[in-house]
Chains A and B, each alone.
Chain A
């Protein structure tokens, strides 16, 4: 029992150490590498941005618009009793921008992109492609992880903004269709209560989530062992761990923003 517990703790610490080292490596190749003439390939970054961002637009849009609709209906149910139906507009916008859009977008992207990163890098690892890069004196972190990291860091906040807009449209559909709030009044109320800080705290969160998704996807992929089964295991682990860390980071960041009155 104690042995098993000890082994678990040691394995966990080794995992944390591995992730931290990879993070340092990615930061080195992102910010210091270019000054040594070893920048990541621009085409690779654009390709990954298209994969991470452009191809996630539809799914993020639908997830957030439906969430906006659901939040609007659930709150309208309560607010109408108090004759405060108009405040649905403010609540939907603030809830989406501060919390739901960053988290849901990150979860969708972790499921779609994080798993793809882990599976692709894992397959490359078990088919000796990573070793081949290493033998050609091409650093796998610079060549593979940095473009994915940068693409996520740039595109996830963009997707979050798209999610914010989609959510507000979802809220408007319910507000206008069911609660009969006219368009002008709905958007006036939205922007009266929605502050800049609601948007940027959400974007800060999405930046942190992007780091989590890229880091876990790349780490699990680059450390895959044991053939096809290992690739499957790494992919599942990357999604599960990303989900847990996204929710955990969300909790910590929300507490930080709440207590620091940001």
Chain B
């Protein structure tokens, strides 16, 4: 039997915890994400999956534990050092987060102009290349308000890959889109990670998306990782949380009401 080659994870979370106003939102999470894979984090609204993503991007700092990006612990470095790490990854947002006042090309050019000293002609070529990758050539001069939601998400994606990052974080990439456009975005995520060898971390609760793009999937519930596995392992998991979530059943261990308050108590009767 050949010995497996040991690959170092590109993102690694070690005993990470985060609280807001005394509520533990992320509770002692350990997670490894490997170079080149598309890692999907799924979970209900309020489960802590977006917080987990923001801990990985350095937007939030954990109270305990360490977040290692390419071996560097971003939980304990200075803002200036964190900025250097941030230049190595891109992120797309749930509502695209394009700057309203800038045209499509200026939005994509923004990180390039800010962090490189490239000539305008070169930047123009890069913008055209990035927009071609997301299928939006010809829309350079449009304002974000003049294009559709799906197109805005694709511009956001072009902006995220503008600096040729190793890692791209996607926050709810298909939410608010119709199934066809959602499928296009899924295809694009998969396509870009293969073409550009990008590590993708996708936070979503869109089940179609989860199984379409995920190389590995993690389910988060109440700030803890319930299970990590390949799409097949997750689909065939015996874990009742996962079965309830992927089948969208209202009954099961995932409760949407406060556990110990019955209707009589809730109404104060």
Residue contact B86 to A137, C-beta cutoff 8 Å: yes
A129 to B93, CA, bound (A): 9
> At the interface, yes or no: B98 with Cβ under 8 Å from chain A?
yes
A137 to B77, CA, bound (A): 14
> At the interface, yes or no: B87 with Cβ under 8 Å from chain A?
yes
Contact among B82, B84, B111 for A138, CB-based, below 8 A: B111
> At the interface, yes or no: B241 with Cβ under 8 Å from chain A?
no
> At the interface, yes or no: A136 with Cβ under 8 Å from chain B?
yes
> Taking A136-B86, A136-B110, A137-B86 as contacts, is the C-beta distance between A131 and B97 under 8 angstroms?
yes
Contact among A129, A131, A137, A138 for B98, CB-based, below 8 A: A129
On chain A, the residues within 8 Å of B83 by CB distance are: 137
Main secondary structure of the interface of A (DSSP, over half): helix
Contact among B57, B84, B115 for A135, CB-based, below 8 A: B57
**Which of under 10, 10 to 19, 20 to 34, or 35 or more describes the interface residues of B?**
20 to 34
On chain B, the residues within 8 Å of A11 by CB distance are: none
Residue contact B110 to A138, C-beta cutoff 8 Å: yes
> Taking A129-B100, A131-B59 as contacts, is the C-beta distance between A138 and B114 under 8 angstroms?
yes
Shortest Cβ distance from residue A246 to the other chain B in the assembled complex, whole angstroms: 28
On chain B, the residues within 8 Å of A138 by CB distance are: 110-111, 114
> At the interface, yes or no: A127 with Cβ under 8 Å from chain B?
yes
A68 to B100, CA, bound (A): 41
On chain B, the residues within 8 Å of A129 by CB distance are: 97-100
Residue contact B114 to A132, C-beta cutoff 8 Å: no
> At the interface, yes or no: B211 with Cβ under 8 Å from chain A?
no
A73 to B95, CA, bound (A): 56
On chain B, the residues within 8 Å of A123 by CB distance are: 100
Contact among B86, B90, B97, B110 for A127, CB-based, below 8 A: B97
> At the interface, yes or no: A134 with Cβ under 8 Å from chain B?
yes
> Taking A134-B59, A136-B110, A137-B115 as contacts, is the C-beta distance between A128 and B95 under 8 angstroms?
yes
Shortest Cβ distance from residue B190 to the other chain A in the assembled complex, whole angstroms: 22
Contact among A128, A134, A135, A136 for B94, CB-based, below 8 A: A128
A138 to B90, CA, bound (A): 12
Residues of A within 8 A of B (CB): 123-124, 127-129, 131-138
14 A-B contacts (beta carbon < 8 Å): A123-B100, A124-B100, A127-B95, A128-B94, A129-B98, A135-B59, A135-B86, A136-B86, A136-B90, A137-B83, A137-B84, A137-B87, A137-B111, A138-B111
Residues of B within 8 A of A (CB): 57, 59, 82-84, 86-87, 90-91, 93-95, 97-100, 110-111, 114-115, 159
